[in-house]
A = this chain, B = another copy of it.
């Protein structure tokens, strides 16, 4: 086991109707709120109106239109400007991981005098940030329980994971009923995103019985519950379990003390969605089985055997590489079975920029230091195999 230094101070308020506590929670932080959200989905489910009703006594400034793969310009820059102009006390992010990720960058930028990109690009370490409260409407990223966010800058094709311990949400409201109207496409993509968060931690040099059990339980929970949510979008228990399983995704609890894997699929997918603005979870699902095939070797095979036997119930008496190959196929088949388009062409990506993207990943993501190292040619091969 590796040494670690770990804390997740976020308060989770989980379940039906927990939003009734919103006024008392917000009052802890002040009266001036920046309300951040995306498009119309929070209006459609009545959540926008309910939030405004509950917060009648507060001063609310709004930043709407935050997109998936949230953009530095205009969203982060606009949000920072609003916070400074209005002396905002606290940010209330309502939506999915993109809204929250964007709000984290705004929270840091609002307390910094220079260009917020200095913080996101790690040129300057944030000294503080505005407090953040969120109401999550999509089970996927786990941003509600970690201190990271992913921000895209279009002109440079950058999609950067920005992590800083100042950025833990103070409070996350998780009401599974808000996810009842999530489309089949987004339900499946959220499942794939959360499964990949676990896989990125599972495939590493050393793990423990405890962590493997946690992660295998997480993977099985996601597979079973995503199917239930697709069959019956208002299955409360399935939506709830999926939501909680996603919440643990990136805060470290699944694998405290494990060696770092390098998060290779995220490194590669960030290029795909930076260049083509595709759905993150779909990009991950497409890459994952091709990455697995690429790294399968004498060094890695035993982790695939454990994964195959414990997650998919593959017969442990088979030969090791046979188990691993069945496990990789089972991963592909599962994603396919929940309706994810499993080729890059289906999401609008062809071979034209593969070499450029592979070069971008090789230069920026440090995957030559991953547990199973990836050089530029490996990355290009994985992208090509994903076409």
Chain A positions near chain B (C-beta within 8 angstroms): 1-16, 18, 176, 208-214, 216-218, 220-221, 224-225, 236-237, 240-241, 244-245, 253, 256-257
Whether B221 and A217, one on each chain, are in contact in the complex, defined by CB atoms closer than 8 angstroms, is: no
A13, A210, A213, most chain B CB atoms within 10 A: A210
Taken together as a complex, chains A and B put the C-alpha atoms of A4 and B3 apart, in Å, by 31
Instruction: List chain B residues, Cβ under 8 A from A5.
Output: 11-14, 18
- For A209, the closest partner residue in chain B by CB is B221
Whether A8 and B8, one on each chain, are in contact in the complex, defined by CB atoms closer than 8 angstroms, is: yes
- For A239, the closest partner residue in chain B by CB is B1
- For A220, the closest partner residue in chain B by CB is B209
Q: A244's contact among B10, B210, B217, by CB below 8 Å, is which?
A: B210
Taken together as a complex, chains A and B put the C-alpha atoms of A213 and B253 apart, in Å, by 14
Q: A213's contact among B10, B13, B221, by CB below 8 Å, is which?
A: B221
Whether B213 and A256, one on each chain, are in contact in the complex, defined by CB atoms closer than 8 angstroms, is: no
Whether B9 and A7, one on each chain, are in contact in the complex, defined by CB atoms closer than 8 angstroms, is: yes
Q: A6-B12, A8-B8, A13-B5 are in contact. Are A244 and B218 (CB under 8 A)?
A: no
Taken together as a complex, chains A and B put the C-alpha atoms of A216 and B209 apart, in Å, by 10
Q: 10 tightest A-B contacts by CB?
A: A213-B217, A3-B15, A7-B11, A9-B9, A210-B221, A1-B240, A209-B221, A208-B241, A6-B12, A5-B13
Instruction: List chain B residues, Cβ under 8 A from A208.
Output: 221, 237, 241, 244
Whether A217 and B212, one on each chain, are in contact in the complex, defined by CB atoms closer than 8 angstroms, is: yes
- Copies of this chain, whole number: 2
Taken together as a complex, chains A and B put the C-alpha atoms of A2 and B236 apart, in Å, by 11
Q: Would you mind naming 13 contact pairs between A and B with Cβ atoms under 8 Å apart?
A: A1-B237, A1-B244, A3-B15, A4-B15, A5-B14, A5-B18, A6-B12, A7-B9, A208-B244, A209-B225, A213-B216, A213-B220, A213-B221
Whether A4 and B11, one on each chain, are in contact in the complex, defined by CB atoms closer than 8 angstroms, is: no
Taken together as a complex, chains A and B put the C-alpha atoms of A209 and B2 apart, in Å, by 28
- For A217, the closest partner residue in chain B by CB is B213
Question: How far in angstroms is the closest Cβ of chain B from A208?
Answer: 5
Whether A213 and B213, one on each chain, are in contact in the complex, defined by CB atoms closer than 8 angstroms, is: yes
- For A256, the closest partner residue in chain B by CB is B244
Question: How far in angstroms is the closest Cβ of chain B from A376?
Answer: 35
Whether A1 and B212, one on each chain, are in contact in the complex, defined by CB atoms closer than 8 angstroms, is: no
Q: A218's contact among B2, B213, B220, by CB below 8 Å, is which?
A: B213
Taken together as a complex, chains A and B put the C-alpha atoms of A112 and B27 apart, in Å, by 26
Whether B4 and A14, one on each chain, are in contact in the complex, defined by CB atoms closer than 8 angstroms, is: yes
Instruction: List chain B residues, Cβ under 8 A from A213.
Output: 213-214, 216-218, 220-221
Taken together as a complex, chains A and B put the C-alpha atoms of A1 and B7 apart, in Å, by 25
Q: A3-B16, A14-B4, A16-B3 are in contact. Are A209 and B237 (CB under 8 A)?
A: no
Taken together as a complex, chains A and B put the C-alpha atoms of A257 and B158 apart, in Å, by 39
Taken together as a complex, chains A and B put the C-alpha atoms of A329 and B19 apart, in Å, by 46
Instruction: List chain B residues, Cβ under 8 A from A12.
Output: 4-7, 256
Question: How far in angstroms is the closest Cβ of chain B from A254?
Answer: 10
Instruction: List chain B residues, Cβ under 8 A from A256.
Output: 12, 14, 244
- For A12, the closest partner residue in chain B by CB is B6
Whether B257 and A244, one on each chain, are in contact in the complex, defined by CB atoms closer than 8 angstroms, is: yes
Add 9 more A-B contacts to A1-B15, A210-B217, A213-B213 (CB < 8 A): A1-B241, A3-B16, A4-B14, A4-B15, A8-B8, A14-B256, A14-B257, A209-B224, A214-B217
Whether A14 and B3, one on each chain, are in contact in the complex, defined by CB atoms closer than 8 angstroms, is: yes
Question: How far in angstroms is the closest Cβ of chain B from A118?
Answer: 26
Question: How far in angstroms is the closest Cβ of chain B from A8?
Answer: 7
